[in-house]
Amino acid sequence: MHAKNIHPSRPSRRAVLSGAAALGGLGLLPRGARAAEWPTRPVKMLVPFAAGGTTDILARVVAAKLSKEFGQQFIVENKTGAGGNIAADAVAKADPDGYTLLVGTPGTHAINPFVFKNMPFDPLKDIAPVIIIARVPNLCSVTTSLPVKSVAELIAYIKSKPGELFYGTPGLGSTAHVSTELFRSMTGVEITHVPYKGSAPALTDLIAGRVHLMIDNLPAAQPFAEASQIRPLAVSSATRWSGLPDLPTIAEAGVPGYEAASWFTIAAPAKTPKEIVGRLNASVDKFLRTDDGVARLRKLGAEPAGGTPDDMQRYVVAETEKWGKVAKFAGIKPE
């Protein structure tokens, strides 16, 4: 047999081009296919604040449920700094493939543009809404060494020591920050802001007396209040919290008209396939409607929310307008 008979024939140029076109076509097809098969590997959920805070607590509850339902690990990753902007910007710039998600807050979605001069992303354009997990009131608490047992006594005490006391927050632009600035502007007290990288380190210093006041999310602060490590004075919502019926609102306790609350979301990079957003939304919304979901979140001090991605977007737009007015009223300027 001649050697030339054992060599395969070379494909023609037309065949090569046709094959390349076919492969190119395969490259175009998988986006929809990948969306239908998602997730095929672990999913990161970026939390903008330190472990132990409300955002982190809620993220881990939801991540556990998603991991079980989808058969892939939903991994909570704490990426702190810049009032949540570092985590949110990482998500805004991530591939829109459903494998990088944001557990957002009013800061990342609505407040930070009024607090930070150079925003690295546009919350409304670069972040795709998925769902609101929950809404929570803030708890107004003081360190136990402070000789006050009511909001009225707190106001009087701070006024007796202008500029000498400190309030802690999870960071610039957090609801704790704007909530306390609103309190400060409505009462005329002079108290200095100390921002932290999350609720947990701020609460640690509140317990130790290194800061004197926090108006922070109820789920993060409540366990320390129940353990008598900090002294709760009031809740920030318009009405009393069902889990703490004996605790007055800040408005009832001496600051008429005061109201502030927080909320927590799941969001994705803009242009994430609608199929993925829809599947995520449906899974979390279903959990938030179950007896177990409602009970678990309420035990943490949160009220389950839910709804569609469009519901979340409308809410974020309304909250952006509201907190913009609060920032202006409280005299908060971009830094």
**Spatial distance between the Cα atoms of 243 and 146, rounded to a whole number of angstroms:** 25
pLDDT for residue 102 is more than 90: yes
Question: Which of 26-35, 231-240, 281-290 shows the lowest per-residue confidence on average (mean pLDDT)?
Answer: 26-35
Cβ 117 vs Cβ 335: under 8 Å: yes
Relative to beta strand 230-235, strand 100-104 is unpaired
Secondary structure letter of residue 300 according to DSSP: T
Quote the mean pLDDT of the chain.
Answer: 89
Per-residue pLDDT tens for 176-226? 988 999 899 899 999 999 999 889 999 999 999 999 999 998 988 999 999
- Count the neighbouring beta carbons within 10 Å of the beta carbon of residue 248: 16
Place of tokens 């409304």: 124
**Which token pair is 168?**
């802690």
Domain ranges of the chain: 41-135+262-330, 137-235
Q: Where are the beta strands (DSSP E) in 127-229?
A: 127-143, 166-169, 192-195, 213-217
User: Which is more confident, 328 or 62?
Assistant: 62
The second-level CATH assignment, the architecture, of 41-135+262-330 is: 3-Layer(aba) Sandwich (3.40)
Segment 293-304, tens digit of pLDDT? 999 999 888 989
Identical fold for domains 41-135+262-330 and 137-235, yes or no, is yes
Angle between helices 199-208 and 218-226 (to 10 degrees): 30
- In the chain, the amino acid numbered 45 is M
Q: How far is CA 270 from the centre of its chain?
A: 17
List the CATH code of the domain at 137-235: 3.40.190.10
Q: Is the pTM of this model over 0.75?
A: yes
Q: What is the pLDDT of residues 127-146, one digit of tens each?
A: 999 999 999 999 999 999 99
Measured at the CA of 232, the angle between CA 229 and CA 234, to 5 degrees, comes to: 170
Distance in Å from the first CA to the final CA of the chain:
83
Is the pLDDT score of 287 beyond 90?
yes
Please calculate the CA angle 21-25-29 and round it to the nearest 5 degrees: 175
